[in-house]
Amino acid sequence: PKQNVNVNTIQMKSYACQRRTPLKHHNSHLTEALEVLSENAAYGENEGRSVAFRRAASVLKALPYRVQTMDELKCLPCLGDHSQRVIKEILEDGTSREVESMRQSEQFQAMKALTGIFGVGVRTADRWFREGLRSPSDLIRTGQQLNREQQAGVLYYDELNKPVTKHEADLIGDIVKEAVSAVLPGAEIQLMGGFRRGKELGHDVDFLITHPEEGKEEELMPKIISWLEERDLLLYQKTTRNSYLEKKDAPGRPPNNMDRFERCFSIFKLQGHAETTGSDGVRPSNQSEASYWRAVRVDLVVSPYSQFAFATLGWTGSKLFERDLRRWAGQEKHMSLSSHALYDSVQRCYVRAQSEEEIFEYLGLEFIPPCERNA
Ligand code: GTP
Ligand code: MN
Ligand code: MN
């Protein structure tokens, strides 16, 4: 049932930032398979291939109907031969043998388990895999050298791999708000990342913090961290200072993916609440009432007020949406977009913006609200 959608009149734009991509869509049976291929390519450090499969999946997420026949894909962009082959297999047989055997393979599962450790990237995971290691417990058993981040990652492995709920994100939001207003009254804080896009579950919780009086936000992070640490609310934190300088970072230089805001990668110790109990409602036996908590990954970012709109846009995601925003700016508009600024290479000037709407407008894009940026 196509619910009055004529498949031949669908105009699918090729940049993700030109499309509306809702969180819930009609083709997860196809997109999940394509995302396995993307993940596997990433494990092999083939970034181009990985992005290509992710793009293919993303196009299907934006379709207003469930794909039934290959014919319906004729006019869609970003679907390479390999993606089409896999889609065809799934439409005909219900599953793709290639994808299923990949998913089951020892290498895929080990890479998933190892890169699932906080602080472990593909390079390290691959080296461990070639040394015969398969899981976090193998790392402990063989006494691998781990940095501080990875030690925390192994220690809290199970909890950090358990999705964070919106409710937990809100509880953490309350704590961060309290910390921020205690150390800098008047500061503003905003929930970012997947939760801003309307997700119910996430792998972490992302916050952006600013203050309407430019300059007041400087060196704010260490104060927030001290406030949290004094109350025993952090299990791990690594803060990096703001290193952004307009003159040095642009123009000309391609905007780096990593931004330079003062930021903190952390693991919160979220004190007892109902959702940490098991499905039977029984509290895990190793935790007494008093010490009842779970570990949650939290990213904190501090932005100067003048860059807040860019930071908001840059930290809302999804990653593919962000990637295509930058690609659109560069390839179609001769501008360079980062989470700090927009530079117009034709006019040779920085573009100021107070809101996401203004940035979309300057980029010549229709405004896409956060809940439709789930590309
Ligand atoms: P989950 O956390 O898995 O639910 O999804 P998410 O979309 O929230 O992903 P994540 O927390 O990894 O990232 C949130 C947003 O912040 C995404 O748009 C990322 O592109 C962006 N982001 C993450 N790290 C950086 C960074 O170092 N610099 C910049 N500029 N953006 C980043
Ligand atoms: Mn996130
Ligand atoms: Mn994050």
Query: Which residue in 126, 206, 249, 259 is the catalytic one?
Result: 206
Residue 272's pLDDT band, with cuts at 50, 70 and 90, is confident
Residue 284 has pLDDT above 70, yes or no: no
For helices 28-43 and 106-115, angle between their N-to-C axes, nearest 10 degrees: 80
Of 3.60.20.10, 3.30.210.10, 3.40.50.450, 3.30.300.130, the CATH number of 311-372 is 3.30.210.10
Say if domain 164-308 classifies as CATH 3.30.460.10.
yes
| Mean local confidence (pLDDT), 128-138 | 98
The DSSP output letter for 373 is: B
Q: According to the 3-state scheme, what is the secondary structure of 170-229? A: HHHHHHHHHHHHHHCCCCEEEECHHHHCCCCEECCEEEEEECCCCCCCCCHHHHHHHHHH
Virtual torsion, Cα 227, 232, 238, 244, nearest 10 deg: -20
Say if CB 276 and CB 300 are below 8 A apart: no
Longest dimension (CA), the chain: 64
* pLDDT (0 to 100) of residue 286: 55
What is the distance, to the nearest Å, from the Cα of residue 292 to the centroid of all Cα atoms in its chain?
28
* 3 state DSSP class of 364: coil
* pLDDT (0 to 100) of residue 254: 47
Say if domain 106-155 classifies as CATH 1.10.150.20.
yes
CA 114-117-122 angle, 5° bins = 50
- The question of whether 170 is a catalytic residue gets the answer no
Distance between Cα 319 and ligand 1 center (Å): 6
| Mean local confidence (pLDDT), 185-210 | 98
CB 62: neighbour CB atoms within 10 A?
21
Whose atoms come closest to the Cα of 193: which ligand? 1
The DSSP output letter for 37 is: H
Q: What percent of the chain has pLDDT over 90?
A: 86
Say if CB 242 and CB 261 are below 8 A apart: yes
Residue nearest (by alpha carbon) to ligand 1 atom 23:
315
Residue 207 CA to residue 248 CA, distance in Å, equals: 26
Where are the domains positioned within the chain? 7-102, 106-155, 164-308, 311-372
* 3 state DSSP class of 234: strand
Residue 185 has pLDDT above 90, yes or no: yes
The DSSP output letter for 11 is: -
* pLDDT (0 to 100) of residue 253: 53
- The question of whether 324 is a catalytic residue gets the answer no
Q: Which of 53, 88, 94 is nearest to 73 (CA)?
A: 88
Kindly state the tokens that stand for 154: 């192994």
What is the distance, to the nearest Å, from the Cα of residue 79 to the centroid of all Cα atoms in its chain?
23
**The pTM is what?**
0.93
Residue nearest (by alpha carbon) to ligand 1 atom 16:
315
Residue 373 has pLDDT above 90, yes or no: yes
Q: Indicate whether residue 202 lines ligand 1 (CB < 6 A).
A: yes
Cis peptide before 163 (omega within 30 of 0): no
Which CATH topology does 7-102 take? DNA polymerase; domain 1 (1.10.150)
Query: Which residue in 204, 249, 259, 324 is the catalytic one?
Result: 204
Residue 33 CA to residue 74 CA, distance in Å, equals: 20
The answer for residues whose C-beta is within 8 angstroms of residue 324's C-beta and 6 or more apart is 15, 16, 17, 18, 375
ipTM of the complex, rounded to two decimals? 0.97
Q: Indicate whether residue 193 lines ligand 1 (CB < 6 A).
A: yes
Name which residue leads in pLDDT, 26 or 5: 26
Establish whether domains 106-155 and 164-308 are of one fold: no
